[in-house]
Chains A and B, each alone.
Chain A
Amino acid sequence: MNNLNEFLHMGGYGAYVWSAYGITFVAMILAVVIPLRQHSSLRQRLIKQFKRKK
């Protein structure tokens, strides 16, 4: 790989290669970030419930 342009161009297949990697990248990030957020909101909800029960 000589330079950045060649790298992005991927011998003409750039659109295919990078969309494949892009979709994968986005999916894998979302699939972890979303449950992490659900985790914090779950914890908040449970804490509120316990406070109320007190």
Chain B
Amino acid sequence: MMRFIHQLASPPYFYHFSGKVLPWFLGLFLVFLSYGLYGGLVLAPTDYQQGESYRIIYIHVPAAWMSLFIYMVMAISGAIGLIWHIKLADVVAISSAPIGAMFTLLALVTGSIWGKPMWGTWWEWEARLTSELVLLFLYLGVIALYNAVEDKRTASRAIAILALVGVVNIPIIHYSVEWWNTLHQGPTVTKFDKPSIHLSMLLPLLSMAVAFKVYYGIGLLVRARNELLQRERNTGWVRELLHDE
């Protein structure tokens, strides 16, 4: 297992391995997506409080979870690259940023669309919405900083520092619904006693969450391959790889 991880850190091995693995990820994504969508849109019963509009939950919540998860992956891989100078860790960090930004934006947009019929407003300046918006700016800052620095190795170190400083926002987002009793719904899934959501709604939700994680894997691998090719374009393995074309 450790040897495999070690091998993965080598750019040519990673490139070839990710190429082979991508179709499987796609298949896995489609499987979980299908069950999630069917279970959520067709099978799950109507919510007695919110009617049919609650079904936005099956994309809103997984998107929000991904926005936080991807940031942590970005910060951790950035730290690994910073401390141990592992090229692939740097690549994973910058490849994750645009995907994380997308999910953050989707969480905000779907939340806003859901909120209009529910709360009567497209936006409300309260704890969770505000901190999720801040998260979006953090992602954009990472992308902007990376593009502004010419030497990409230096750029990777810079965004690793930035991402680490921004990590404080993650617990704030997560716990904000508990600290401030404001507009947004309280925690329902990650409470440690039984989640207060019905199983027929919970299962599709979790399935969508898994589907989104697999999707992140797909997006990450595709972008990482690009970044790797760019960075390593003058090396032997890239030459050999493309020579066979």
Contact = CB atoms under 8 A, between A and B. Distances in A.
Q: Let me know if chains A and B touch directly in the complex, using CB atoms closer than 8 Å.
A: yes
Interface string A18-54: 0111011001100110011011001100110110000
Contact of A35 (B56, B226, B243): B226
Interface stretch (B82-90, B163-171, B180-188, B217-225): B217-225
B99 A31 contact: yes
B76 interface: no
B117 A23 contact: no
- A interface SS class: helix
Given A11-B52, A17-B56, A19-B113, A24 B63 contact: yes
B44 to A, nearest CB: 10
Interface in B83-120: 98-99, 102, 105-106, 109-110, 113-114, 116-117
A13 B222 contact: no
Nearest to B229: A42
A11 B46 contact: yes
B245 interface: yes
B117 to A, nearest CB: 6
Interface residues of A, number: 28
Interface of A: 1, 7, 10-14, 16-17, 19-21, 23-24, 27-28, 31-32, 35-36, 38-39, 42-43, 46-47, 49-50
Nearest to A11: B52
A12 B52 contact: yes
Contacts of B226: 35, 38-39, 42
A13 B218 contact: no
B229 A36 contact: no
A31 B98 contact: yes
A50 B51 contact: no
Given A12-B51, A46-B229, A23 B42 contact: no
A13 B50 CA distance: 10
Given A13-B52, A42-B229, 9 more contacts: A13-B117, A14-B52, A16-B114, A20-B56, A23-B110, A27-B105, A38-B226, A46-B238, A47-B245
B215 interface: yes
Contacts of B128: none
Given A10-B52, A11-B46, A20-B110, A50 B239 contact: yes
